[in-house]
Amino acid sequence: MNTVKILLRNISQVLLLENAITGLCILVGLFIGNWKVGLMALLGSIIALLLAKWTNYSEAEIEAGLAGFNPVLTAIALTLFLVPKWYSLVIVLLAVIITMPIGSAVREYFKPFGIPMLTIPYVFVSWLILLMSFQFKFVNANVHILPNKVQEITFSGNSVEGLQAFFTGFSEVFLLNHVITGFLILVGIFIASRRAAVYVIFANLIGLGAVSLLGANHDQINDGLFAYNVVLTVLALGIAFRTIISRTMSIVLGLLLTIILHAGMTTLLTPFGLPVFTLPFIIATWIMLFGGNRMKLNEIAESRN
């Protein structure tokens, strides 16, 4: 077991790519964007590796980095969304730890369907911790949690900055708004797979074009908030997973679903003050993977009885 490679794969698997060099590019980008985020991502990866065997992850899963990508994201999210106090660090570490068994449980639940858990453990744990801020003195979120009012779109008058919007679409996968971070993430994707790099470039551009035509807030476009879920969806449906639906059709429908889900889920979650995180990517990918499954004859018979 090569410990360093596993730690880096834990990070690269956020993008559904099993490549240590990709993980290194991402980690360097995170340290450049925000050193605290880089440090906590690495710490989350280490904790995941230490606990993986004790929380029902196989050797193959550990080697591939599949045990660690959700804890990495949990560590990043709560580092950014909790107030920067010493007790917040304790809460982040506890959240990373509980992400492990939750991931195992979700994986086992979806296993009979042949559907991956994706990043739902990270989303679930991060939401729980943020919502706990109403119940405990030392759990303090630095975002406005409940109540929040849904308002119609407002524009700042700023124009769309093409390069910024493009690269932050990659960096926001890791909740950072940083052009250099986004560039290094794209480099990491290219190192892992040229085809994946081509897919994410086109998906990012298509997503940006679509939300611009629909009249999205230019500031949110520039911050990459409409693009990062699109990037994850195309990596899932174009590279990582295959169904009986043609790959091209799966990608096109998945991207359309992701854009619609992002807008709808953002509005739905606004009254709770919760970030949408990667939920649009998760739901869109699950829909296409479930839709692309073909039931066996005995399963069809059982479902009719």
Per-residue pLDDT of the chain (305 residues; tens, 9 = 90+): 699 999 999 999 999 999 999 999 999 999 999 999 999 999 999 999 999 999 999 999 999 999 999 999 999 999 999 988 888 999 999 999 999 999 999 999 999 999 999 999 999 999 999 988 777 777 777 766 555 666 665 666 677 777 898 999 999 999 999 999 999 999 999 999 999 999 999 999 998 888 888 887 777 877 788 899 999 999 999 999 988 999 999 999 999 999 999 999 998 988 888 899 999 999 999 999 999 886 544 444 444 44
The answer to whether residue 156 sits within a structural domain is no
The answer to whether residue 238 sits within a structural domain is yes
Whole-number Å distance between alpha carbons of 153 and 217: 7
Q: Which residues pair with 141 in a beta bridge?
A: 82
Amino acid at 287: I
Whole-number Å distance between alpha carbons of 100 and 113: 21
| CB crowding 33-46: b at 16 or more within 10 Å, else e | bbeebbebbbbbbb
Whole-number Å distance between alpha carbons of 143 and 133: 10
Greatest Cα pair distance, the chain, in angstroms, is: 60
Q: Mark whether 12 and 135 lie in a shared domain.
A: yes
Q: Which helix (H) or strand (E) holds 250?
A: helix 247-269
The answer to whether residue 95 sits within a structural domain is yes
Q: Indicate the number of domains in the chain.
A: 2
Q: Mark whether 101 and 197 lie in a shared domain.
A: no
Q: Which residues contact 16 (CB under 8 A, 6 or more apart)?
A: 232, 235, 236, 239, 240
Q: Mark whether 79 and 14 lie in a shared domain.
A: yes
The answer to whether residue 38 sits within a structural domain is yes
> 171: domain CATH number?
1.10.3430.10
The answer to whether residue 191 sits within a structural domain is yes
Q: Mark whether 75 and 188 lie in a shared domain.
A: no
Whole-number Å distance between alpha carbons of 245 and 247: 6
Q: Mark whether 208 and 84 lie in a shared domain.
A: no
- Quote the Cα angle for 236-222-123, to 5°: 45
Instruction: Supply the range of the domain harboring residue 276.
Output: 161-292
The answer to whether residue 301 sits within a structural domain is no
Helix, strand, or coil (residue 143): coil
Given 142, 170, 187, which residue is the final one in a domain?
Answer: 142
The answer to whether residue 303 sits within a structural domain is no
Q: Mark whether 44 and 136 lie in a shared domain.
A: yes
**277 φψ region: left (φ > 0), alpha (ψ -120 to 50), beta (else):** left
Q: Mark whether 173 and 226 lie in a shared domain.
A: yes
Q: Mark whether 65 and 127 lie in a shared domain.
A: yes
Nearest in space to 278 (alpha carbons), one of 206, 239, 242, 230: 230
Residue 197 near residue 185, CB atoms below 8 Å: no
Helices (H) and strands (E) in the chain, counts: 15, 0
Q: Mark whether 170 and 115 lie in a shared domain.
A: no
Given 142, 177, 201, which residue is the final one in a domain?
Answer: 142
- Please state whether the predicted TM-score (pTM) of the whole model is above 0.85: yes
**212 φψ region: left (φ > 0), alpha (ψ -120 to 50), beta (else):** alpha
Whole-number Å distance between alpha carbons of 270 and 170: 23
Nearest in space to 129 (alpha carbons), one of 103, 98, 104: 98
Residue 29 near residue 179, CB atoms below 8 Å: no
Q: Mark whether 109 and 220 lie in a shared domain.
A: no
Q: Mark whether 254 and 201 lie in a shared domain.
A: yes
- Quote the Cα angle for 151-153-159, to 5°: 150
The answer to whether residue 92 sits within a structural domain is yes
Q: Mark whether 67 and 116 lie in a shared domain.
A: yes
Q: Tokens 């809460």 sit at which residue? A: 91
Given 142, 176, 210, which residue is the final one in a domain?
Answer: 142
Q: For residue 158, give the DSSP letter.
A: P
Structure tokens at 301: 């018979």
